[in-house]
Each structure stands twice: as structure tokens, then as C-alpha cells.
Amino acid sequence: MNLSWIDWTIMLLYFGFVLGIGAVLKRYMKTSTDFFLAGRSIPAWICGLAFLSANLGAQEVIGMGASGAKYGIATSHFYWIGAIPAMVFVGIFMLPFYYGSRARSVPEYLRMRFDEKTRGLNAISFAIMTVFSSGISMYAMAKLIQTLHFLDAPFARMGLPPSAIFHASILISAVIVLGYILLGGLTSAIYNEVLQFFLIVAGFFPLVYLGLKNVGGWSGLKAQLPSEYVHSWQGMTSPGTNLLGVEWFGLVMGLGFVLSFGYWCTDFLVIQRAMAANSMNAARRTPLIAAFPKMIFPFLVILPGIIAIGLPTQRSAAVMETGGTAVVAQPAGRGLIPVKVDEISGAPVYDQQGKPVLDYDLAIPEMLAHYFPAGLLGLGLTALLASFMSGMAGNVTAFNTVWTYDIYHAYINRKASDQHLLWMGRVTTVFGIAISIAAAYLAARFNNIMDFLQLVFAFVNAPLFATFLLGMFWKRTTGHAAFTGLLLGTGAAALHHGLTLPIGEAVGIKGGWIAVLHQYPSDMAQNFWTAIFAWTACFVITIAVSMFTAPRPDSDLKGLVYSLTARIRETGAWYERPAFLGAIVIALLIALNLIFK
């Protein structure tokens, strides 16, 4: 992929604005609340777009395109069954407690509601997860830049070896993210997430338009592909008859309930955006405002993947050049998707049945190369880079807040002044990014370590929503119970994973490391069921332990639990009321599921 001057200009223009925004915001960073919570002064629509974009990192854009190519329109379940209902729930039912309690972070809410140990458990596991996620994001971005080869020519001109591209990508992205967070804290991150949101729309809309026009619209695309690719609910009665390999119950309970509610309702990375809002009403509307564009996003990020697989098969020239080395005879891919190539040997990869494995992660990059001329190509790439970087920034801002308020201020230096905490936030930003860089290199050296870590993170996250649900809606829930439930829920996830295996996988990181008691038709089915087991274990154990431990007096729990908190009287215009917005979102959601069933 060769870029021309206009593409570079667009990219530089974006980086200039990103750092410029940080520089302007610097003078407003006076207290730690300014830095970590944007002074609780951001209007709802900005928080909403940031809420959406903070999650729109590497996994989202490249991963959703890849899943679109692999599973078709059924990928939309991650939005239309997964994210959206959870976003409506957190806005209407949970934000009154997060925002109303004046907690500065999700772990801090846990301390107010339960006790110190529950907060500590959540804060420490969350801090570790965010720095590693940011590292993984950085690694994925450097890898993508390498694969796209658009830095090869400039590097050759400067006399630098191609291997320097990886290092330079990591370094530059780290410096830019570090720069704008150090300067403007959470406000900077949020403002840049808004830029990124519009860039993604600007960069991907023409891609979808050209792709759809080329294949003859949605009906043309339908004619090109088997019907399970273009019907999201087809064959969902049994795991054998749909591309996801999951039946509807596992999908709705595992993805729609446990995993999505666990993420959107408890993850401080996104909740932090709502906590930065300028009023209770704005905080509650944050996820609801985010839900509208979120509903449309499948058309921007999943559809290009489906188009890529639906086009006539061709050998693509743009991305597949392997940097001048001799290319082994390539089996044909499918549509625009090439066959996966082994990184070291350069040979095509085959699965156990001897069929070539497709490199679905290249769906979006191949689409960009196929449809975008100089100019729009720069815009599309900038959108991709922006999404990688704000994904990283989201993790870093969540990390520095949790570290400073929930670990440093809570356990290391209880007497710290606010100015000291602000200083600590800046120092932590530097450290967080340094650890992310280390994690990125760890990922490059040992791919398995990252798979292993992500697996552990999944175990830790799976039971979380049970704890929050009981904590917010059942005043009898005790701190000892929450802590025990979380630990044993994570244990249940690990146990379930160790006892089951997806069909066709080897024992090990994919499961079955204790014994193989049950085989799932796909690893997605295994993931969903692992989450269901973990959630159920946490839910039941938390209730049981609560019954045997002493509850806190009601007076301690005002504003933290549903039954002890005054109902919010909805004032303001009808279109500003969270319940009304939530109802519209749900109605649209049902319509979308029916249209694409």
C-alpha cells in the first residue's frame, strides 16, 4: 500500500489537532477532579460519543470487520443483543448510584457499598487488565502498520531497516497518547474520542457506500452469499445450523446478559465517561445517547467485512506483498480475504482438515486498499489509527484514575493532598504507558502469554455483574458475600474452562486442562457458557453468604441501594428523559432484529 502526499497530510493534520487539543486544555487542569473526572463538567452528547468511542478500539473496528467476514450479519448480535440492552440498563437503573454516590470510580463505589477488600480486589484486577489491554492495542496497531506496508517506502528512503517500523509505530503511538493525556487528562481523552467518532464515520461511510454500490446493494449482496450470512437469527435453534456455533439460549444469556451487562454496566473504562457528565440527567443520558450511533455501527464496521467476503474472489495485490521476499504459491482466498500466511516461514496456513485458513483480520484493510484512492485512503487509515489510539487512551485514563484514587490514595499514601494526587496522576500516566509498551513487546515475543492473560481477564470479568446487580438492588447483600462471590465466580469460570473443550481444538489454552467432560461446537459457545457458569456461581454464592453474615445498617446505604434511594423525579423536556430515550432505543432494536432476522 503506497501513500501519496495527500494521505500523509491528512494523517499529520489529525495528529496536530489531537496534540493541539491537549495543549489548549492544559491550563484548565487545576485539581485532581479536573484531571481524572474532567471536572464533572462535560455535556451529555460529548460524554455519549466518548462512551461509545472509548470501547471502539482495535478489537472493535478490525475485529468486527473480521467477524462480519467470518460469521456474516450474525455478528450484529454483539450490538443488537449484546451492547445495547446493557447500555439502556446502565443508563436508566445503575447510573443513579454511580453518579449519585459521588464515587470517583467504580472500585470506589464498591468500597462505599461493600467494604475495602472488595474494592481492593476490583481495583487491582482492573488496573492490571487495563494496562495490558492498552499494550495489546499498541501491539495490534504496530502489527497492522507492518502488514499494510505503508511505512516501508519512507523508511527505505530514510535508510532504516523494515524491522524498525514495528518499534517506531509503538514509540510514536505511545508518545502521542502520552502527550495528550499528560496535558489534558480525561477531558483530552474524551475530546479526542469525539474526534475519533466522527473520523470513523467519515472514513467508513464511503467504504460501505462504494462496496454496496459495487455488489448491487443489500439485495445484490444477499444474492452472492449463503443465506445464513445475511440472516442474523437463521438456524439459531441449534448450534450446528448457524455460523456462530451457538444456540439461542447461550447467545441471549451468555452474550446478551452476562458478558454485555458485565462489561457495559461495570467496566470503569466506559462508566468513567458517564461520571464526567455535568449533571445526573446528563450522566444517565450518556449511555442512551451512545446507544443510537452504536445501533448503526454494524453497518459501518460489520458490513464491510460481509462485502469483502461476498465480492468475487481475487488475488489482492495491495496488502499481500510480503515485503519483497519470495512468495510461496498462494492458494486462493475468498472474496477479498487472503489466506493466512505464517509470519516466519511465509507459507500459507492450513487447518487440520487441510483447508487453507483465511486471514479475516485483513477484511477491513483489504477493503480500504480495494476501494479507496489516494485522499480517501489517508482518511480511512487515519480513522483506523485514531480508533487504535483512543482505545489505548481510554485504558490509560481509566488506569491512572483507579491507581491514584483506589490504590495509591487508599493504601499507600492516605494523607496525600489534592495537588499531590494530580501530580501522581501525571506520573501514573507515564508509568501506565511504559508498562503498556512492555506489554506490547511481551505480546510480540510470546503470543501465548497474551492469550493466557486475556483468558484470565475473562474469568475475572465474568462474575462481576452478579455482584453489582445484588449490591444495587438487594440491600441485604454484604461485603463478605460480595468478595467471596467474586472470587468463587472467577474460580467457577476457570473450572468450567478446564473441564470443557471446543470440538476440533487441542487441550490447553482452549480448555480441557483438567479433564474434558463436555465438548462445545465452537469456542464462542464455550465462552458464553463459561460466563453463564461464572455469573450463576457468583450470584448464588453471594446470596448464600449474605444470609449468614451481618448486613450493614440501612442508614449506611442511602444513595447506594435501590430501595434506600429516593426516586429521581424526571423533570425537563420529554426528549431529555432517560426512560423515554431508553424506550425508543429498545423499539428500534426490536425493529432492527426483525428486519435482519
DSSP secondary structure code for residue 62 in this structure? I
Task: Count the alpha carbons within 13 Å of 410 in the hemisphere toward its beta carbon.
Answer: 22
Pick out residues in 33-62 that bind other proteins (CB under 8 A).
Answer: 38-39, 41-46
Of residues 30, 102, 213, 518, which one binds other proteins by CB under 8 A? 213
SS3 content of the chain, % helix, strand, coil (to 5): 75, 5, 25
Residue 198 in the binding site for other proteins (CB under 8 A): yes
Should residue 194 be labelled a site residue for other proteins when binding is judged by CB under 8 A? Answer: yes
Q: Nearer Cβ to other proteins, position 188 or 436?
A: 188
The residue from 1, 19, 21, 581 that contacts other proteins (CB under 8 A) is: 21
Of 14 and 166, which has the nearer Cβ to other proteins?
A: 14
- Taking CB under 8 A as the criterion, the residue among 24, 503, 547, 591 binding other proteins is 24
Min CB(369)–other proteins separation in Å: 9
Among 573, 574, 594, 595, binds other proteins (CB under 8 A): 573
CB of 297 to other proteins, least distance (A): 18
* Segment interacting with other proteins, rule: CB under 8 A, options 126-134, 162-170, 198-206, 233-241: 198-206
CB 390 within 8 A of CB 373: no
CA-to-CA dists, residue 349 to 71, 113, 124, 363, 443, angstroms = 20, 51, 39, 17, 21
Cα–Cα distance between 273 and 190 in angstroms, integer? 7
Residue 224: beta bridge partners? none
| Residue 332 interacting with other proteins (CB under 8 A) | no
Element (H, E) at 27: none
* CB closer to other proteins out of 33 and 173: 33
Nearer of residues 43 and 508 to other proteins, judged by Cβ: 43
* Distance of alpha carbon 514 from the chain centroid: 30
- 251 to 310, contacts with other proteins by CB under 8 A? 278-279, 281-282
Among 100, 162, 179, 206, binds other proteins (CB under 8 A): 206
210 binds other proteins (CB under 8 A): yes
Q: Which CB, 195 or 410, lies closer to other proteins?
A: 195
Asked whether the beta carbons of 149 and 319 are under 8 A apart, the reply is yes
- Shortest approach of other proteins to residue 370 CB, angstroms? 7
Under 8 Å CB-to-CB from 253, ≥6 apart: which residues? 528, 532
Tell me if 508 contacts other proteins by CB under 8 A. Answer: no
| Residue in 595, 593, 481, 482 with CA at minimum distance from that of residue 81 | 593
* Spatial contact of 391 and 51, defined as CB atoms under 8 Å apart: no
Geometric angle at alpha carbon 511, from 361 and 351, rounded to 5°: 45
* Nearest distance in Å: CB 100, other proteins: 16
Q: Interface with other proteins by CB under 8 A: which range of 15-23, 84-92, 299-307, 328-336?
A: 15-23
Nearer to other proteins, 281 or 484 (CB): 281
For residues 167 and 338, the answer to whether their CB atoms sit within 8 Å is no
Candidates 516, 413, 390, 317; CA nearest to 53 is 390
> Based on CB atoms, which residue is closest to other proteins, 218 or 596?
218
Instruction: Determine the 3-state secondary structure of 200 from DSSP.
Output: helix
Is 31 one of the binding residues for other proteins (CB under 8 A)?
no
Residue number with CB closer to other proteins (315 or 597): 315
- Select the residue interacting with other proteins from 6, 253, 568, 584 (CB under 8 A): 6
Choice between 496 and 577, CB closer to other proteins: 577
User: Residue 386, by phi and psi: left (phi above 0), alpha (psi -120 to 50) or beta?
Assistant: alpha
End-to-end CA distance of the chain: 37
The reply on whether position 217 binds other proteins by CB under 8 A is no
Q: Which residues contact 537 (CB under 8 A, 6 or more apart)?
A: 463, 485, 488, 489, 491, 492
Using an 8 Å Cβ cutoff, are 399 and 137 in contact? no
Number of residues that bind other proteins (CB under 8 A): 47
To the nearest whole angstrom, how small is the minimum distance from the Cβ of residue 194 to other proteins? 5
Using CB under 8 A as the binding rule, whether residue 189 contacts other proteins is answered as no
Farthest CA pair distance, the chain = 73
Task: Judge whether 393 and 192 are in contact, CB under 8 Å.
Answer: yes
Point out which residues bind other proteins (CB under 8 A).
6, 9-10, 13-14, 17, 20-21, 24-25, 27-28, 38-39, 41-46, 187, 191, 194-195, 198, 202, 206, 210, 213-214, 278-279, 281-282, 370-376, 379, 571-573, 575-576
